[in-house]
Chains A and B, each alone.
Chain A
Amino acid sequence: MTATLERGARAAQTPALRHRLAERGVDRQLLLLAPAVLFVVLLFLYPFFYGLQLSFAPEEGGPLGSYAAFFSDPYQRNTIWITLGLSLPAALLNVLASVPIAYRMRGSFRGKRLLTIVLVVPITLGTVLTAQGLLNFLGPAGWFNKVLLSFGVDEPVQLVGNYWGVFFSLVITGFPFAFLLILSYLSGIDPTLERAAATLGADWKARFRYITLPLLAPGLATTFCLAFVLAFSVFPSAVLVGNPAGETRVLALAAYQAAYEQYDYSLASAIAMVMGAVELLVIAVVLLWRSRLYTGSTGGKG
Chain B
Amino acid sequence: MATVAPARRPIVASPGAWLVWGVVAFFLINLAGVVGSVLVSSFGTQWFGTWLPDGFTTSWYARAWQEFQLFDVVLVTLQISLLVVVISVLIGVPAAYVLARRSFPGKQLVYFAFLLPILMPPITYGIPLATVLYKYGFAGNMSGVVLANLVPSVPFVILTMTPFIEQINPSIESAARMCGAGMRALFLRVLGPLLVPGILAASILVLVRTVGMFELTFLTAGPDSQTLVVALYYSMSAAGIRAQQSVDAMAVIYTGTMLVLLVIALRYVNPTQLVARVKEAPEP
Per-residue CB proximity of B124-158 to A under 8 Å, as 1/0? 11111111100000000000000110110011001
Is B95 in contact with chain A by the CB < 8 A criterion?
A: yes
Contacts of B20 in A (CB 8 A): 100-101, 104
CB-based nearest B residue for A43: B151
Q: Tell which of A25, A192, A276 touches B121, judged by Cβ atoms closer than 8 Å.
A: A276
The stretch among A6-14, A128-136, A288-296 that forms the contact with chain B is: A128-136
CB pair B236–A131 under 8 Å, yes or no, is yes
Given contacts A131-B236, A255-B123, contact A125 B104 (CB under 8 A): no
Is B281 in contact with chain A by the CB < 8 A criterion?
A: yes
Is B33 in contact with chain A by the CB < 8 A criterion?
A: yes
In the complex, which of the residues B121, B263, B280, B281 has the most CB atoms of chain A within 10 Å of its own CB atom? B121
Q: Tell which of A33, A128, A144, A180 touches B229, judged by Cβ atoms closer than 8 Å.
A: A128
In the complex, which of the residues B35, B99, B237, B274 has the most CB atoms of chain A within 10 Å of its own CB atom? B35
CB-based nearest B residue for A256: B123
CB pair B125–A137 under 8 Å, yes or no, is no
Query: In the bound complex, how far is the Cα of B266 from the Cα of A108, in angstroms?
Result: 17
Is B117 in contact with chain A by the CB < 8 A criterion?
A: yes
Query: In the bound complex, how far is the Cα of B49 from the Cα of A143, in angstroms?
Result: 9
How far, in Å, is A224 (CB) from chain B's closest CB? 13
Is A221 in contact with chain B by the CB < 8 A criterion?
A: no
CB pair B131–A265 under 8 Å, yes or no, is yes
Contacts of A273 in B (CB 8 A): 124
Is B167 in contact with chain A by the CB < 8 A criterion?
A: yes
CB pair A121–B31 under 8 Å, yes or no, is yes
CB pair B121–A233 under 8 Å, yes or no, is yes
Is A175 in contact with chain B by the CB < 8 A criterion?
A: yes
CB pair B127–A272 under 8 Å, yes or no, is yes
Is B91 in contact with chain A by the CB < 8 A criterion?
A: yes
Is B68 in contact with chain A by the CB < 8 A criterion?
A: no
CB pair A48–B278 under 8 Å, yes or no, is no
CB-based nearest A residue for B187: A32
CB pair A54–B237 under 8 Å, yes or no, is no
CB-based nearest A residue for B49: A141
Query: In the bound complex, how far is the Cα of B167 from the Cα of A35, in angstroms?
Result: 24
Is A61 in contact with chain B by the CB < 8 A criterion?
A: no
CB pair B102–A25 under 8 Å, yes or no, is yes
List CB contacts (< 8 Å) of A226-255 with chain B.
229, 232-233, 235-236, 239-240, 251-252, 255
CB pair B9–A107 under 8 Å, yes or no, is yes
Given contacts A129-B251, A183-B271, A233-B121, contact A104 B17 (CB under 8 A): yes
B interface secondary structure, majority:
helix
Interface footprint category on A: 35 or more
Q: Tell which of B21, B95, B114 touches A35, judged by Cβ atoms closer than 8 Å.
A: B95
Is A212 in contact with chain B by the CB < 8 A criterion?
A: no
Query: In the bound complex, how far is the Cα of B11 from the Cα of A104, in angstroms?
Result: 10
CB pair A275–B27 under 8 Å, yes or no, is no
CB pair A143–B271 under 8 Å, yes or no, is no
How far, in Å, is A125 (CB) from chain B's closest CB? 6
How far, in Å, is B31 (CB) from chain A's closest CB? 6
Is B197 in contact with chain A by the CB < 8 A criterion?
A: no
CB pair A184–B272 under 8 Å, yes or no, is yes
List CB contacts (< 8 Å) of B68-91 with chain A.
90-91
Query: In the bound complex, how far is the Cα of B49 from the Cα of A141, in angstroms?
Result: 5
How far, in Å, is A270 (CB) from chain B's closest CB? 10
Query: In the bound complex, how far is the Cα of B233 from the Cα of A184, in angstroms?
Result: 33
Contacts of B30 in A (CB 8 A): 137, 144
Per-residue CB proximity of A195-234 to B under 8 Å, as 1/0? 0000000000000000000000001000001000100110
CB pair A128–B251 under 8 Å, yes or no, is yes
CB pair A118–B28 under 8 Å, yes or no, is yes
Query: In the bound complex, how far is the Cα of B24 from the Cα of A225, in angstroms?
Result: 23
How far, in Å, is A174 (CB) from chain B's closest CB? 12
In the complex, which of the residues B21, B123, B247, B261 has the most CB atoms of chain A within 10 Å of its own CB atom? B123
CB pair A126–B128 under 8 Å, yes or no, is no
Is B12 in contact with chain A by the CB < 8 A criterion?
A: no
CB pair B233–A236 under 8 Å, yes or no, is yes
A to B CB contacts below 8 Å, 9 in the list: A36-B95, A52-B128, A116-B272, A132-B236, A132-B248, A181-B275, A184-B271, A184-B272, A300-B276
Chain B residues within 8 Å of A, Cβ to Cβ: 8-9, 11, 16-17, 20-21, 23-24, 27-28, 30-31, 33-38, 41, 48-49, 51, 90-92, 94-95, 97-99, 102-105, 110, 113-114, 116-132, 147-148, 150-151, 154-155, 158, 167, 183, 208, 212, 214-215, 229, 232-233, 236-237, 247-248, 251-252, 254-255, 258-259, 261-263, 266, 271-282
Chain A residues within 8 Å of B, Cβ to Cβ: 24-26, 29-30, 32-33, 35-37, 39-41, 43-48, 50-52, 54, 97, 100-101, 104, 107-109, 116-134, 136-137, 141-144, 146, 172, 175, 180-181, 183-185, 187-188, 190-192, 219, 225, 229, 232-233, 235-236, 239-240, 251-252, 255-256, 259, 265, 268-269, 272-273, 275-276, 279-280, 283, 298-302
- Counting from the closest, the 3 A-B pairs by CB-CB distance are A51-B128, A188-B276, A233-B121
